[in-house]
Homo-oligomer: A and B are copies of this chain.
């Protein structure tokens, strides 16, 4: 039984309904394209202050935009 591929998603916090939908649809796409049935998806939910985009923490970028 081949259980590849494994998909790791480096994302932000999300509710369980979003994650359920994400896993369902990502799996459908991977099965369709790769023709492999067993797919593992791992979601890493990162805090806004643990992600930096273009040199700035997302938490800071969002605070500025709102400020």
Contacts and interface: CB of A to CB of B under 8 A. Distances in A.
Interface string A36-67: 01111111111001111111111111000000
Interface residues of A, number: 53
Query: Residue among A4, A32, A34 with the most chain B CB within 10 A?
Result: A4
The complex is assembled from copies of this chain, and their number is 6
Contact of A6 (B33, B42, B49): B42
Interface in A1-41: 1-12, 14, 16, 18-30, 32-34, 37-41
Given A4-B40, A24-B52, 18 more contacts: A3-B38, A4-B51, A4-B53, A4-B58, A5-B9, A6-B6, A7-B9, A19-B49, A19-B52, A23-B52, A24-B55, A24-B56, A39-B52, A39-B55, A40-B52, A42-B52, A44-B46, A44-B50
